[in-house]
Amino acid sequence: MACWYEQAIKNARKNPKAQEYHNKTDDLYQVGMTPPNPKYFVENLNVFDCSKVTDGASALIVASEEGLKKLGVSKKEAIEVMGFGISVDDLTQTPPDLTQLTTTQKAVEKAYQSAGLKPEDIGFMEVHDCFTITGLLSLEAACMVKQGEAASFVAEHRTALDGELPVNATGGLIGFGHPTGGTGVRQAADIWQQLTGKAGDCQLKITSQKPFGLMINMGGNDKTVASFIFKPAIV
Which residues have C-beta within 8 Å of that of residue 231, sequence separation ≥ 6? 79, 80, 82, 195, 211, 212, 213
- CATH code of residue 36: 3.40.47.10
pLDDT tens digit at each of 235 positions of the chain: 999 999 999 999 999 999 999 999 999 999 999 999 999 999 999 999 999 998 888 889 999 999 999 999 999 999 999 999 999 999 999 998 999 999 999 999 999 999 999 999 999 999 999 999 999 999 999 999 999 999 999 999 999 999 999 999 999 999 999 998 899 999 999 999 999 999 999 999 999 999 999 999 999 889 999 999 999 998 6
Q: What is the pTM of this model?
A: 0.95
CB contact at 8 A, 136 and 177 = no
Q: How many domains does the chain have?
A: 1
Q: Give the residue numbers spanning the domain of 201.
A: 2-232
